[in-house]
Every structure is written in structure tokens, then in C-alpha cells.
Amino acid sequence: MQHASDQISSGVSRRAFLKASSALTAASPLLTGQLQAQSGAAKGPLMAYVGTFSSPLRDMLPTQVDLPPGNGRGIHLFQVNRTTGALTPSGVYELGTSPSCLALNTVGTRLYSANETDRVGDAKEGTVSAFAINRADGQLKLLNTVRSGGAGPTYVSLHPSGRFLLVANYFGGSVAVLPILADGRLGEASDVKNDAGKIGPTKATHAPPGSFAFSGHDRTHAHMIEADRSGRFVLHVDLGLDQIFVWKFDAQKGALTPNDPPAISLPPGDGPRHFHFHPNGRWFYSIQEEGSTVVLFDYDPATGLLTARQTLSTLPPGFAGSNFCSEILVSADGRFVYAGNRLHDSIGIFSVGKTGELTYVGEEWTRGNYPRSFNFDPTGQFLYCCNQRGDNLAVFRVDKQTGGLKFTGHYAAVGNPSIIVFLDLAKAG
């Protein structure tokens, strides 16, 4: 193989060589740009869907039930810059029923929303909607809307089988199982369970000094529902009862039956809100809304049994006053746990030890008011915080070595954001 210098010395004139070299150099940026454009087109956008509390539109009967009144317009769509984390608006699916929780199916072709309303016509009940996702641009098409099995559905999640949607109705104090039909539409509930028991006190056992935090100890309030990794058991929390319920799940009938024991109690008044499994499936972290605590449970996937092992505050040492906890997430690598604090407006950061126990690392200001939830992008490089009363999302870069969060300077304006979920359109649907 000859080098350029060899070709010059073997009969090609220097002038011709320089001319050819100049042409290649000039063409290089153009070729590079074309290749990058082709690569980008093949790659497809990373989409974000943001559920909000939204005021009713003229053609919608229900009203929102969360305060302040909904400033959102429905489900807001964004394209995500994979390098900087910045969000660019990509449309809105207008929905006046406060789609406050969203869930994607595993192949990214369907989106489901819990519409946190307290009535449909004359019925004291909320709704859940199913959407088809256009895999070319991420836009949504409504498939159908069904009743949720109770008022104020606040949480939806998919069963691992992909055949059922699980719903927690906050204001109805009930949970429901909705079959997912072959085309992605939702069927009527195959099972509905109503929570019952003794309501906890208005003062949390672990409330910070001087706290007046009171939210859900007036009646039953189912706040979250999700299956374990196997799908054999379904767990849900009731904030008003201070309990975590465990159900055996019949994947043929879409039915729930009480486990033995059927529930585990948390300290009176603390108010369990959300939970998240560690990637190993054996550690289970529950966050308490009024007690401002995280509780570590050992989880037995064979029996569905929960055993409490550690309780610690979500707030920095010395904090006093009122706080309402919100979201809890475990990082994908299982090394860190993140806990949301509303009024303190922070995300508490905890490292995970070898036995699952947590150590407080620090906290990061959310750059907005009342952080209702937050989520990682698919790579885990960025964390997006929904500042509900601040009407914005704030973007943080994640330090995967320390667990720390660093504000990127990027905001996205969204009225009363409640949840953000991500879909990578580069991956096959």
C-alpha cells in the first residue's frame, strides 16, 4: 500500500496532489454533517411526557381535585437533548381532567394516564385513559377512557405481564385492576378493592419538631400501587390507614386476594405515600408523607412478606417545621436513594450500604416550589424535578460516583407538573 508521498514521487504532480487534497478537505465538513444528520435521523428523539394538574376544558365535565387550581393543559410533550438534558416543547395533548400520573408500556407504544378527578357526570369516580404513541414523532392519540374504580385516581402502573393496569384511587380509598386489551385499550375493572380500617392520628409519630403537616388522615387514601418484579404480588399503600397492603395476584383473572398477613402497619400518623424496590428485589424503601421518613424493609419475594429494618428522616439534621414528603427513587445501579421534600423544597440523597441500610449524604434545592415527583432520564445522567407549585421542571446532572445533583441551569415551563416519564424513540417499539 502506497502512502501519498510515494504517489507524488512516482509520477503524480505536486500541484495535482495539493488540488485533490484541498477538495477533500473542503468536502470533509459537508460529509461529516451528512453522516451526522443521517445518524441523528436514524437515532430518533428522546421524548418526555409530563402529566399535570389541569383546569377543565369546555368539553370536559370533571374538575381537578388538587390545589392550587390546575395551571397545566394536559399531557405536555418535550424532546430531550441527550447531551445537555434541556427540554424543547413538542406539543400538548389537551386534557382537562388532571392527568397527574403516567405509565408507559415496556415496548413504548402505549401511554396510560390517571385522571385525578372526583366525578364523571353524576358518578363519584375518576377515569383512566389509554393513548397510542406515534413512534415517528412521539405524538399521542386517545384510544379510550374508562372509569377508575374510585374517586381521584392518583397512581397507575403496569403489571409485569403487560396485560393489566393497576390503579390507586386516592380520594376513593380504593385500588383497581383494569385489563389491557389486545389493541392497548382499557377494559372495565376486573377487580376493585376498598380500603378499610382505623384511620391514623392527625399528628405523625415521626413529625419534625414544630410540624403542622396534615394531609390525609381524614379517611382512607390509596396513594400508590405496584407489582413486585415477579408479578405474583401487588403492593399498595394507604396514607390514611398508615398501612402497606400486600395482595396475591391472579394473572388469569386479574384479581387480588389478601396475602398472609394482608398488610403491615407503619407508625401512626406517618402516612406512607410511595415506595420503590431496590434493583435486587429484596430491599423495599417506603417514604412517609407526614412523618418525613424513609423506612427500609426486607422483602421476601417468595412470600410477599415485609420486615421493617431501618427508619430515618428525609430532612437534614436540625430541621424544624412542616414538611410533606413526595417521591422516592432508587438509582438504577442501586447505590443511592432520593427522597422528595415539599415545603423544604429539596431532594434528600442517601447512599445504600452493603445490607441496604441508608446513610444521609446531603440534599439539593429543587429550584422550585413543592417538588411533587422526579425521575431519571433513561441513561441516569439527568434527574428531572416536577415543581408543582413553581410551574416548572428543573434539570439536574447526576454524579454517579457520589450521588450528588448539580443544577444544569435548564428549566422548562409547565403549569402544575406532577410526573415526567421518558421514551427513547431510537429503540424499536
Is pLDDT of 124 > 70?
yes
Percent of the chain at pLDDT > 90 equals 82
CA 160 from chain centre, in angstroms, equals 16
Q: pLDDT value at position 6?
A: 36
Q: pLDDT value at position 44?
A: 85
Nearest to 374, CA basis, from 397, 395, 344, 343 = 395
Q: pLDDT value at position 105?
A: 98
Q: pLDDT value at position 119?
A: 74
Task: Name the residue ranges covered by the structural domains of the chain.
Answer: 1-43
What is the average per-residue pLDDT within 295-305?
A: 98
Cα–Cα distances in angstroms (integers) from residue 307 to residues 223, 314, 360, in the given order: 21, 20, 21
pLDDT in tens, 208-232: 999 999 999 999 999 999 999 999 9
Is pLDDT of 2 > 70?
no
DSSP 210-269: T----SSTTS--EEEEEE-TTSSEEEEEETTTTEEEEEEEETTTTEEEEEEEEEEEPSTT
What is the average per-residue pLDDT within 104-115?
A: 97
Q: pLDDT value at position 118?
A: 79
Q: pLDDT value at position 429?
A: 73
